[in-house]
Amino acid sequence: MKIAILGSGGREHAIAYSASKSNKVKKIYCIPGNAGTSEIADNIIIDINDFENIYVFLKKNNIDLVIVGPEDPLVNGIVDYLEKLNVKVFGPNQISSQLEGSKIFTKNLCKKYNIPTAEFGVFKNTEDSFKYINNAKHPLVIKADNLAAGKGVYICKEKKESYLAVKEIFGGKFGIAKNILFEEFLEGEEMSYFIISDGNTFKYFGSAQDHKRAEEGDKGKNTGGMGAYSPSRLFNEKLEQKILEKIIKPTLKGINNLGTKYKGFLYAGLMIVKNEPFLIEYNVRMGDPECQTILPTLDTDIVELFQSCIDEKLDDIEIKWTEKKSLCVVLCSNGYPDKYEKNIIINNFEKLNLNENNYLFHAGTKKKDNKIYAVGGRVLNFISLSNSYFNARKNIHKNLEKLNWKKGFYRSDIGYKVINK
C-alpha cells in the first residue's frame, strides 16, 4: 500500500520510520517531510493546511492511507475534509481536536465531567486580566487559548512576570488569542500518558516524562521539548487506573456526547500531586519528542494499528512493546527558543553509531545537493534503547560527541530525575 504522512518534524520522521518496517507498505510520501524522511520516503512540498492541493496529490498518486502528524491541520479539520472525499485518514476530527485547539473547551469539559484539573479563570482582554493578577496568588500559570506549538505557557512567580505574559499573549506572540487562561499552580511532577483509540475501544500507547525547559535542571525558557524518557518513573498500575477512571474515560464519554467518536492518538499531559493525577492539557496527536522516544519500543506493526482504528477494529489487535527503556535528547540550534541562525550545514553523520538500539530522527533539517542543513530550532533527535536510562543517555552523548556540531546545544541532564535519584 501507499501511505502519506503529513508533517515535517521528528515525530513524523519517527512515524515514517516505523511505517517503513511494515510489510504492508510499498511506498511512503511525507508532506513536506525533512532531510531524514527523504532517506525512506519521497518528500512532497505542499503546505499542510492546503487541503485542496493535498487531496489532488493523494488522488493522483492513489494513496491508501493518510497519517496526520501535527496538531494544526487536525484542529483546522483536515480529517473531516478528507473523509468526505472517501480518503482513509488516521487522526481525530475537528470536534475532537478542540481538546487541543481550545484550552477553554477542555477546561469546560473537565468541569462538566468532574475531571480533576487546576482551578481556572478565563479573560478576553488585558484590562480584566490585570485586575485578576492584582489579587491572584502566585506562582500563577498563564496560557494562550490558541495553538502555540507547546510554547504558549507561562509559569509566573511574580506579578510583573504575569503582566508581561498577558501583554505577549494578547500582543500576538503565539498568533491571535481571543482568550487567555489563568490556572492555579499545581505542585507535583509532570507525566505524559498516551492512548490510541478507534472511537469504541482505546488502548495504552506509552508513558513518558518530557523536559520542556531549555536549560539544565528544568530552568530557563519553555520550549517544544528538549528530550524525554519512557516509560515515566511515576507510571504504575495503581496510578494508571486513576488516570483511566478519572480522566481518560470521562473525556471520551464527553466527546461521544457531542455526537462524534474520538479516533487517533490522545496525549494527556498530567501533573501527579501526591499520587493523584490532574489534567494539565490534552494534545490530539503524539507528543514531540515523546513520539520519537516511544515508537522505537513498539513491537507491533504501526500501519496495522492505524488501519484498525480507521476500521474500528482496534480490539482485534494486541499491542506489544519491548521491555527496554528509551531516552531521547534533542539537539537544538544555538539561540533556541528565541532567535537562531538558519541554513547551517551539519557534518559528520557518517561517524554516528546507529543500529537497532540507537536512532536518529530529523526535525528542523533540509537536504540540498546531498548536504544537510539546520533550518529549525529543534534540529535532531537522538534516541537510545537500553536496560538502563543511564546507559541510554551515555550512548546518546557518544553520538552527540561524534557529530560535534558547534552551532547547536543540548541538555546533558535529560532523565536526571530517574538517573540521579
Strand partners, 344: 374
DSSP code of 343? Answer: S
- The alpha-carbon radius of gyration of the chain (Å, integer) is 21
Angle at CA 359, nearest 5°, toward 354 and 361? Answer: 125
Contact by Cβ (8 Å): 303, 17: no
Query: What pLDDT is recorded for position 178?
Result: 79
β-pair type (2-7, 27-32): parallel
Residue carrying the nine cell digits 537510545: 384
> 1 by DSSP, 3-state: which?
coil
How far is the C-alpha of 401 from the C-alpha of 399, rounded, in Å?
A: 5
Burial of 84 (0-12, 13-18, 19+ CB in 10 A): exposed
The single-letter code of the amino acid at 122 is V
Query: What pLDDT is recorded for position 181?
Result: 87
The single-letter code of the amino acid at 74 is L
Query: What pLDDT is recorded for position 150?
Result: 54
Q: Which CATH superfamily is domain 189-316 in?
A: ATP-grasp fold, B domain (3.30.470.20)
Contact by Cβ (8 Å): 75, 6: no
The answer to whether domain 125-178 and domain 189-316 are alike in fold is no
β-pair type (140-144, 153-156): antiparallel
The single-letter code of the amino acid at 67 is I
Contact by Cβ (8 Å): 405, 346: yes
Q: Which residues contact 289 (CB under 8 A, 6 or more apart)?
A: 10, 11, 210, 225, 226, 227, 228, 328, 330, 378, 381
Query: What pLDDT is recorded for position 151?
Result: 57
Per-residue DSSP letters for 88-152?
-EES--TTTTHHHH-HHHHHHHHHHTT--B--EEEESSHHHHHHHHHH--SSEEEEESS--TT--
β-pair type (276-283, 408-409): unpaired
Phi, psi of 394 (to 5 degrees): -60, -45
Query: What pLDDT is recorded for position 103?
Result: 85
Q: Name the residue ranges covered by the structural domains of the chain.
A: 2-91, 125-178, 189-316, 325-419
Query: What pLDDT is recorded for position 71?
Result: 96
The secondary element (H helix, E strand) that includes residue 173 is: none
User: Domain 125-178, what architecture?
Assistant: 2-Layer Sandwich (3.30)
89: which 3 cell numbers?
485518514
pTM for the predicted model, two decimal places: 0.92
Strand partners, 243: none
For the segment(s) 2-91, the CATH number from 3.40.50.300, 3.40.190.10, 3.40.50.20, 3.30.420.40 is: 3.40.50.20
HSE-up of residue 325 (Cα within 13 Å, Cβ side): 20
pLDDT tens digit at each of 421 positions of the chain: 999 999 999 999 999 999 999 999 999 999 999 999 999 999 999 999 999 999 999 999 999 999 999 999 999 999 999 999 999 999 999 999 999 998 889 999 999 999 999 888 888 899 899 998 988 889 999 988 766 555 578 889 999 999 999 999 988 887 777 788 899 899 999 999 999 999 999 999 999 999 999 999 999 988 999 999 999 999 999 999 999 999 999 999 999 999 999 999 999 999 999 999 999 999 999 999 999 999 999 999 999 999 999 999 999 999 999 999 999 999 999 999 999 999 999 999 999 999 999 999 999 999 999 999 999 999 999 999 999 999 999 999 999 999 999 999 999 999 999 997 5
164: which 3 cell numbers?
508581561
Q: Which of 98, 28, 121 is nearest to 66 (CA)?
A: 28
User: Domain 325-419, what architecture?
Assistant: Alpha-Beta Complex (3.90)
Strand partners, 365: 374
The single-letter code of the amino acid at 393 is R
Q: Which residues contact 131 (CB under 8 A, 6 or more apart)?
A: none
Length of the chain in terms of residues written: 421
Burial of 349 (0-12, 13-18, 19+ CB in 10 A): middle
Strand partners, 120: 183
